[in-house]
Structure 1
Amino acid sequence: MKAVGVVVEYNPFHNGHAYHLEQAKKVAQADLVIAVMSGSFLQRGEPAMIDKWTRTKMALAGGVDIVIELPYVYSTAPAADFAKGAIALLTAVGCESFAFGSEDGAIQPFLDTFELIHGHQEEYNALIKESLTTGASYPKSLHYAYKQLSQKFPATYIDLSQPNNILGFHYIEAAKTLDSDIKPMTIPRIAAGYHDALQEGASIASATGIRQALATSCKLQQVQDVLPKISFDYLANWYRQYGKFASWETFWPFLQFTLIRHTPSELNHYAEVTEGIENALIKAAKTSHSFSSFMEKIKSKRYTWTRLQRMLTHIYTGFSKEQLHNSVTPSYIRLLGMSMKGQAYLGKYKKDISLPLISRVAATKDAMLTIDIHAAEIYNLSIETGNMEQSLPKDYQTPPIRF
C-alpha cells in the first residue's frame, strides 16, 4: 500500500483542504493519505479553534486515512523546526511521498531554491547578518539575503514572501537534511490565499478567513458554503456545546493572569522569551483589556506577531527553555485516528515503522509526550471554564478514533 503524507492543522477542515487531499492522492498515485496534524496549539503561536479530536474526525471524514499528532515541541516551533518534526514523522510512518500546498505550484523552483541557499550558505548567512545590523527584523533579513543571492545566481526560484512557499521550502530542507527518501510534491493553492478574507459566494476560503469571519460575528451560516457538510456539522456541534471557539481573545483572562503572576526572571525561564521583553509583557498585561490591545502594546520591529504569539504560548503552557533544548528529534508516533484502510495499513506495516506507535498514552512514559498531554490539559481547562457540564476528551482516556 502506497502512502502520501500531508502536514496539516485543519483549523478548521475546509473545501480547500478536501481539494488538496484529492490532488495529493492523485498526483502521488497513492492508496491512502497519512496526515501529521498539530495538536492543541499551532505553528503561528495560537490555540486551535477546536480541539484535536474534533479536527481528527473532520480529517477522517474528509478523506485522510491515518491522523498522527505533531508533538507540541514542533507544532509551535518556527517553520524550520516545525517542518523537521513533521517530515521526520511522515518518513518514520512509511510515507513514500509528501504533498504540500503552495502559491508557486511547481516543485522544481523549490528544489532550485534549496540548492541556491544551501549551496551558498556562508554568503547567505553573511547577508542575513549584514541586514540585521541595520535594525531589520529577522524575517526581513532573510528576505534581503535571499533576494541578493537570487539576483547573483539567476534561475527560477520561489517567492519566499508567501507563507505556504516558506513552509514548502522548509519541508524540502527537512527531507534533505534528514537524508529521507520521501519524495516532495506540491499542489497549487486555488481560489483563496493564506491571509484572504472570506468572500461572499465563494466555495473555497482560507482557514484564516474562516476564523476571522467567525471571530467577527460567530454566525456559522456564513462559512457553511466553504466547508464540507460534515465539517460544518462538527463545527456547529462544537459551538452548541461550548458557546465559543478557542482563540487568544477567548483565552485572554487566563493568559493575562499567567503573565501578571510571574516575575520577569520567571518569565525568562520559558522558551523563546529573550532580550528583556519579559518586563514589557508584564507591564502591558496589567493595562490591557483584550489580547489585541495587549499585542498592540508589545509589537515592534524586532518581534513579529507570530514570534510574540509563540512566546506567549510557551508561557501559557509552561514550556521551558530546558524542555526545548532537550527535545531533539521525535521519539514516538501518536495515533489520533484511522479509517478502515488506515487500520489495514498499520496492521500490514507496523513492524516497519521506525518509531514506537502510541495509541494508549496512559501506558507510555515519554518526556515529549508528557508535554503534549500537559498542553492539551491547559487547552481543555481554558475551554471548559464556565461550562463544566461539557467536558472535552481527556488524552489519558481517549483511544484513537476509528472511522
Structure 2
Amino acid sequence: MSAQRKQEAVLRILRGEDLELVSRELGVTAAALSGWRDSFLAAGAASLKSRPEDDRDRELRAMREKIGEITMANELLEAKIERLEGGRPFPAAEVETMSQTVSASAQRPYGLARVCKVWRLSRATVSRHRQAANRPTAPRRRPGPPGAMADAELAHCIRALLEDSPFHGEGYRKVWARLRYAGVRTSPRRVLRVMRAHGLLAHQRPGAPRGPRAHDGTITTARVDEMWGTDMTAVATGEGTAAVFIAVDHCSAECVGIHASPQATRHEALEPIRQAVRGSFGEVGKDVARGLSIRHNHGSQYMSADFQREIRFLGARSSPAFVRAPEGNGCAERFIRTLKENLLWVRWFDTIEDLRQALLEFQTTYNEHWLIERHGHRPPATIRREQNVNMQNAA
C-alpha cells in the first residue's frame, strides 16, 4: 500500500471512523492501522529508519550463536557430571525430559540430538525405550452383573437416545451420561458391550501407529479465556471449496468463533479471533485481551506477520504448537473432527453463505448441548456461565 493511501486511512481514523470498519474495508489489520496512526502522530519517518545488516552484524550474530552452543554444551556436561557423581543412570524418560528443558542462558530447548551427543548416548536406544514405554496394553474385561434392565431393553433405550440426539458419532461414554440424565442407571462398560453387540458404536477409522509424544503435559486450562485454540479446515460447496476457520476455548471447549470464506487468507483467519474477542471482552481494541494465549499451528496464515501483529495488538500472546505435533493444538483439532462428523460431512451447501449460517447454528447447538467428559458430561456454555457466576460472587 502506498504512503498516500496509508495517510488517507490514518486521516479517516483521526476523523472518528471506527477502527475495525476501516480495517475490514481496506483489508488491513487493526494492528497495522494503529501502528500507522501512531507513526503519523509521532512524525514516524525518523522512527521507521532502519540500518541494513553489514558484515560486522553478521559476524556478531554468528559469534553469539557459537557462544550459545558452547554454553548449552557446558550446561549439559555439568548435569552429566552431577548424575555420574550421584550414581544415577540415564533412563530414556530423563533424556527426553532434559531434551525439552529450556536452557537458562540460550533461552531455547536443548533438543534430543544435542543431549545424546553430549551425554554420549544412542538416539536409537532412547527412541526404542520410549516406544516400548508408550506401547499400549490390551484392556481386560471385568465380569459383572447385568443390572435390573435386560440387554434388549437397554439396547432399545440406547437406540432411541441416538436417534433423538442432534449429534452423530457420540461414543459410549456420552451415551452412558445421557442415559443417566434420562434416569437409566447402568455402568459404562455394560453400555459399551451392548452397543458393540447391537452394532451401535460409531465407526472408527484405523490410524497409523503413533510415535512418541512431543510433549507430556496438558493443554487445557483452569479458567475460560486463558487460552484459545484456532485452526482451519476446508469443505466443498456449490460455489467451490470454502475455508472454515474456528476458535475454541481450552477450558470449556466452547466454540468462541467460527467463520467460512472462499479464501484462506491471514485476514480471514483473524475473523473467529475477532468474534471471540467481541464476545468475551466486549470490543476489538488495543490490549483488550491481555493475558490471553492463542494456540495455533505453523500454517502460513497463523505465522504471517499480519496475524501475529494483530494478536499482539489485542494484547494476546502467540502460543504455537510443536512442529509435526497436532496434539499440541488438540482442542481445536477435536472440535474440527466433531464439526466434520456432525455437519460438514453430512450436509451439502449450495453457497458459502448457506455454509456460514449453518456454522453459526451448529456453534449454538454445540455450545449448549455437546457433553464434555472432563467437566462431568456438561455442555461448554454451562461451564462458562458457572465460572462467570463464581467470578461475580467473588467480586
TM-score (norm 1): 0.22
**Bigger relative contact order (CA 8 A; separation at least 6):** 1
- Larger radius of gyration, structure 1 or 2? 2
TM-score (norm 2): 0.23
